[in-house]
Amino acid sequence: MLTEYDYIDIEDKKTHDYKGVFVPSRHAGEVKDFLDAKLMKKKKDELAGILQFAGIADGELGEKSIQDLMEQKKSRY
């Protein structure tokens, strides 16, 4: 009955809150790959934010000045 639709929005009738979406099996792989890539990028960004302070805690940076650290960051990225 619903095979002709690419996706179906789900909405609560009382509150009109958006609850989700149904995706047919022919698109499920693409949607899953997209969400996996998006979640992986988010995790990498969070980890990079945490790890930038790990060098400070380990003493890895030593006695470098902020100018030296900024130059090192510019050359890395």
* Global pTM exceeds 0.85: no
Calculate the CA dihedral of residues 65, 73, 48, 35 and round it to 10 degrees: 160
Which tokens hold the place of 29?
Answer: 């792989």
- Confidence (pLDDT) at 35: 94
**pLDDT tens, the chain, 77 aa long:** 566 778 888 999 999 999 998 888 888 899 999 999 999 999 998 888 777 776 665 556 666 777 787 787 787 76
- Give 59-64 contacts, CB < 8 A, sequence gap 24+: none
